[in-house]
Amino acid sequence: MMLSIENVSYRIGNFVILDQVNAEIRQGDVVALIGANGAGKSTLADTISGFLRPSSGKISLNGSSLTGQPPADIGRQRVSRMFQRQHLAWNMSALENVLCGLDTQSEVSWRKNLFRTYRTASFENEKRERATDLLNRVGLGTKAEMPARNLSFGQQRLLALARSLAHRSDLLLLDEPFMGLKSAALDLTVKLLREELRCGRLLLIIDHSLSIVESIATKFWFMEKGRLTSFSSFASLSGSEMFVRSYLGFGPGEKLRAAETTTNQSCSDLEVSLSIVNSQRKPGRAEVSEVAPPMETDSSFASYIPPTLLALSSLSGGYGSRVIIRNLTLNLLRGDVFCLLGMNGSGKSTLLRLIAGIGKCFSGSISLDGEVIDHLRADERVHKGIRLLLQDHRLFRNLSVSENLLLTAFSEESASMASTGMPLSFAFTPSSTYTNVLRDMQSGISGHDRRLAGTLSGGEQSRVAVKQLGYGRSKLLLLDEPTAGIDGIRKSELITLVKSWKESGLAIVITEHDVDFVLSVATRVAILSDGELDELASVESLTPDRLLLHGS
């Protein structure tokens, strides 16, 4: 078995996304594809799986050409794909989703379904057993009958992985398979992938979790501006200048230190040390343009600062009739960075959504700045200063990056006008938020201002979504897995940004699976388990044993 990529390029107009890519995966290889956000990783996966046709070059699997074939034919030729986004059959149960992966292995027809035989029935039973087994192996055995839409983000990732594994393909293309997974689920996933390797499948993994891909991959591809370089070991990759420069964001003088660190430390240690070093460095010219403008804080801070910003009192809530958060009490002060850990499906995202006004509060109360906000709609809570960064970083994909940012400013304007009761058309005078957005656009802060948001890579979309949070008069930021899908440089930037928000007096609640990130920014840490909160005495008491105990 072999996948061969020969001189593959992909361009949109004059914009080169893939530039003469040459590579191959042989039987037994597990390739980790690493690169900064927007380097072209997902585009390469799209050209292999047929969703994009290469401008030039050839891709072949086991000697037969895949170039120019429709994606369904390529999928049928034993290539399966796990997408960066949650591409699941939303209304079908977890079991049915996995069954779908198995269904594509055999002939499906009206005739076969209309004239069922004993053989058809027993084949269906076999498929159900295999699907149930796969669900058990990814830890979703108890969720088999639950619709995919009701699973948590991490559980949906596991389900997508189970479906990909069900498809008996020669080549598995996994785009961010570890995104949003907690350690217990991560262990299961890594174990599962190792088992799959024994079946002789080719594996291409795109992920930013360096410590995990280091432990599983046998070959490393690094992408920088559409060019691919292959490395035989993680040590050779992490010692290379291009990796240090474009992925970790170090200058040439700092290369030696990074390389030394790599040889002496494990990969996750490297991430911590680099992020800390990065956050301590004085910003250079390039970095100044990337740092978001200082958050506009409420001017009332100066006159009166109530001790508690957010107060949750005996809060219970969920979706429909399902209770997910139970009797939760929490007080947050200004400047608190409260990090929530917990296993997939423990209710972290639900808690953020309840505070933001999405979801149903069954009992208890939520107060912001001493004002009860239970009765307020989500948009009214935004006007009160609550901002939520969703896990899938939703942008208006058919608007440009600039337009997405301008919408944030417009929302701020309409909020302030709504409070004064003035009609929008008469009252519009550019505020500092609006001016900040325009200033950033003129200085090209986002790098892709005119591009449609939908054409950005997942990591780049995440950056724009985070940037949106930086504008306007906020009091409380709710960040749901903010590091998901972002590279090392962006993670360091995010750490700096969160610290600057904290300094400006904002309270921040973060759900996060990246413990290193948590240790870098948190002032308080709690573990959410089955909808109940267990706050740790200090951030330092966040030990591996403690995390394991809670399955986080």
Partner 1 sequence: MSSLTSYVAFILALVLQLALLAQATDLLAGHTGRTGLTASVFAGIAGYFYALATVNLLINPWIAVCLALVSTLPVSLFMGYLLLKLDAQGFLIATFALQVALVDLLRNLTLTGGPLGIRDVPAPSLFVFGGATAGSLLIAIPGLLLATIALTLTLGPRSDLGRLFHWIRDDSKSATAFGVHSQNLLLSAFTVHAIIGATAGISFVIVQTYVGPNSFDLWLSLNILAVVFLSGTGGSPSLMLIGASMLVCLIELVNFAPLRPESVGSLQKIIFNLLLVGILVFQRRGIGGPVLEANPSAEMAE
Please report whether residue 14 would count as binding partner 1 according to CB under 8 A.
Answer: no
Q: Does 103 bind partner 1 (CB under 8 A)?
A: yes
User: How far from each other are the two terminal CA atoms of the chain, in whole angstroms?
Assistant: 37
- For partner 1, the binding residue among 13, 14, 63, 114 (CB under 8 A) is 114
* Shortest CB 103 distance to partner 1, Å: 4
For residue 233, give the nearest of 31, 382, 373, 424 by alpha carbon.
31
**Distance in Å, CB of 376 to partner 1, minimum:** 23
Which CB atom, from 114 or from 537, has the smaller least distance to partner 1? 114
| Residues in 447-486 that interact with partner 1 by CB under 8 A | 454
Q: Which stretch binds partner 1 (CB under 8 A): 84-92, 301-309, 471-479, 540-548?
A: 84-92
What residue has token string 């291009």?
242
Q: Which residue, 239 or 318, has its beta carbon nearer to partner 1?
A: 318
Any contact of residue 106 with partner 1 (CB under 8 A)?
Answer: yes
Residue 80, exposed/middle/buried by CB under 10 A (0-12, 13-18, 19+)? buried
Assess 242 for contact with partner 1 (CB under 8 A). Answer: no
Scanning 15-23, 109-117, 213-221, 403-411 for contacts with partner 1 by CB under 8 A, the matching segment is 109-117
Write the interaction track for partner 1 spanning residues 135-154; mark x where CB under 8 A is met and - where it is not.
------------x-x-----
Does 101 bind partner 1 (CB under 8 A)? Our answer is yes
| Segment interacting with partner 1, rule: CB under 8 A, options 96-104, 202-210, 223-231, 349-357 | 96-104
> Phi first, then psi: what are they for 210, rounded to 5°?
-60, -40
Measured distance CA(133)–CA(137) in Å, rounded: 6
Query: Of 381, 459, 422, which Cα lies nearest the Cα of 175?
Result: 459
Applying CB under 8 A, among 10, 41, 47, 83 the residue interacting with partner 1 is 83
Residue among 500, 535, 490 nearest 521 (CA): 500
Asked whether 509 and 352 are in contact (CB, 8 A), the reply is yes
Please answer whether residues 495 and 292 qualify as being in contact, where contact means their C-beta atoms are separated by less than 8 angstroms: no
Q: In the set 81, 326, 463, 473, which binds partner 1 (CB under 8 A)?
A: 81
β-pair type (337-341, 507-511)? parallel
- The CB density around residue 44, as the number of other CB atoms within 10 Å, is 29
Check residue 110 for interaction with partner 1 (CB under 8 A).
yes
Residue 129 CA to residue 108 CA, distance in Å, equals 19
Cα–Cα distance, 457 to 453 (Å, whole number):
9
Nearer to partner 1, 76 or 377 (CB): 76
The contact pattern for partner 1, residues 36-75, with x = CB under 8 A and - = no contact, is -------------x-x-------------------xxxxx
- Token look-up 């394991």 returns 548
Q: Is 104 in the site for partner 1 (CB under 8 A)?
A: yes
Q: Which tokens is 103 given?
A: 């269904």
Residue 150: partners with Cβ closer than 8 Å, 6 or more residues away: 319, 322
Length of the chain, in residues: 552
Mark the segment that binds partner 1 (CB under 8 A) among 98-106, 291-299, 344-352, 366-374.
98-106
What residue ranges bind partner 1 (CB under 8 A)?
A: 49, 51, 71-77, 80-81, 83, 85-92, 96, 99-101, 103-104, 106, 108-110, 112-114, 116, 121, 124, 127, 147, 149, 163, 167, 392, 394, 397, 454
